[in-house]
Each structure stands twice: as structure tokens, then as C-alpha cells.
Chain A
Amino acid sequence: GEDVEQSLFLSVREGDSSVINCTYTDSSSTYLYWYKQEPGAGLQLLTYIFSNMDMKQDQRLTVLLNKKDKHLSLRIADTQTGDSAIYFCAESRLGGGFKTIFGAGTRLFVKA
């Protein structure tokens, strides 16, 4: 199928690490993305990883990619209340036109 799957909710305490998981189906995906959507706003690219990489670190963000299991994760270190948002996993597909497939989004709640 075409699904990108992720859990719908995650609740963490301020200062803890958050880990959001995602599974995808297309092994030929070139890029995998994490988008962030804050209340009342559109999606904004948070980070991405190229398919030939296993890990990417960007300040508090760590992206892990397991191509064998088609599993992508986003770790947010020292989670802050401002990180509360919906996080969408997405994969790019080429062939028949470029297409981005989005997951359902994980709503992250950060408790002070």
C-alpha cells in the first residue's frame, strides 16, 4: 500500500526527550522528511534525511533511518513547551511525477 504510518499522540514532560516513530512502504523513496505544524499554521519542514544516510543530527533533533525495516524516527532532546505541535512524517516518490506522501501526524503534548 501507499501508507506512511505513525502514532497519533505522544505526551512528554518538559526537559525529557521525545521520540516520534514512523514506518513507510516505498523502498525507493529518495528523501524522508519531518514536517511540523503549529496551531493555526501550515506545515513547515523541520528536517529531512537522504535515503543513503542512517542518521542526521541538527541541534536538538536526531533523525534515524532504518531502511531494512522502513522505519524513520525523530528524537527531540530537551523537549520544550514550544515543541508542542503536530509532527508529520513524509516520503518522496519519483516515477510518474514527483509525489510526497504524508503520514497522519503525531500530536506532541509537552507538559510543564
Chain B
Amino acid sequence: SAVISQKPSRDICQRGTSLTIQCQVDSQVTMMFWYRQQPGQSLTLIATANQGSEATYESGFVIDKFPISRPNLTFSTLTVSNMSPEDSSIYLCSADGRDPPYEQYFGPGTRLTVT
């Protein structure tokens, strides 16, 4: 299993600014993922982050808006750049389990409000 922590747990930011969210895993993992979850809605995958390579972004998400770092096998960051109120959401970090059933382990999420 893996335990994932995220910082900050919540933040209120002004439009036009940027926020970096940190995700720390207590063990080495190969793949890490960043999701966005609007209140009461499902998860939307933003990107997949592998150590040593550039993140792979899903349709509708671009690196300039959501730059991701993955410097080692236990840590990743997601930056939400030039924020607007539409970016208000919960951002979740997750990591894949190494062994069957390959479940995903999730962090508690970062609740972002942009004013």
C-alpha cells in the first residue's frame, strides 16, 4: 500500500496568480496522476507523471496551464497557472499500486478557490 499526502489542503487565491500543489508518497511508485474533481462531480484526469520524463496530458489540459514536476519516485507537484474562477476545484494526486489489483492510492485532495 501507499500513503499519499498533499499540501496545501486548501487555499483561496486571487485570479491571475499561480498555486503549486505538492504530493508526497511514502514509498516509491512508478506512475503518479493528477485529477480535478468539481464539487459533486467525477474525476477528470489532468495528466500522468512518470519520473524522468515529461508528463502526459489529457485532452483539454496543457503544460503551460498545468506544469507538472516529477523529480523522483516519491514526489510530484502540479502548478495551476494564471488562475481564473473556473479553476476552482478539488485537485487530487494518486499513484498506482505495483502489485495486483493495481489499485490507485489517492491523496486527500487540495480544495482550491479562486476569487
Contacts and interface: CB of A to CB of B under 8 A. Distances in A.
A31 B41 CA distance: 23
Contacts, number: 46
Interface of A is mostly: strand
Contacts of B104: 35, 43, 45, 100
Interface stretch (B63-71, B79-87, B106-114): B106-114
Interface range for A: 20 to 34
Contacts of A98: 31, 96, 102
A45 B104 CA distance: 8
A27 interface: no
B78 interface: no
Interface residues of B, number: 19
20 contacts: A31-B100, A31-B101, A40-B109, A41-B109, A42-B92, A42-B106, A43-B43, A44-B106, A45-B103, A45-B104, A48-B101, A48-B103, A88-B43, A92-B102, A97-B48, A100-B104, A102-B43, A103-B42, A105-B41, A107-B40
Interface of A: 31, 33, 35, 40-45, 48, 50, 88, 92, 97-98, 100, 102-105, 107
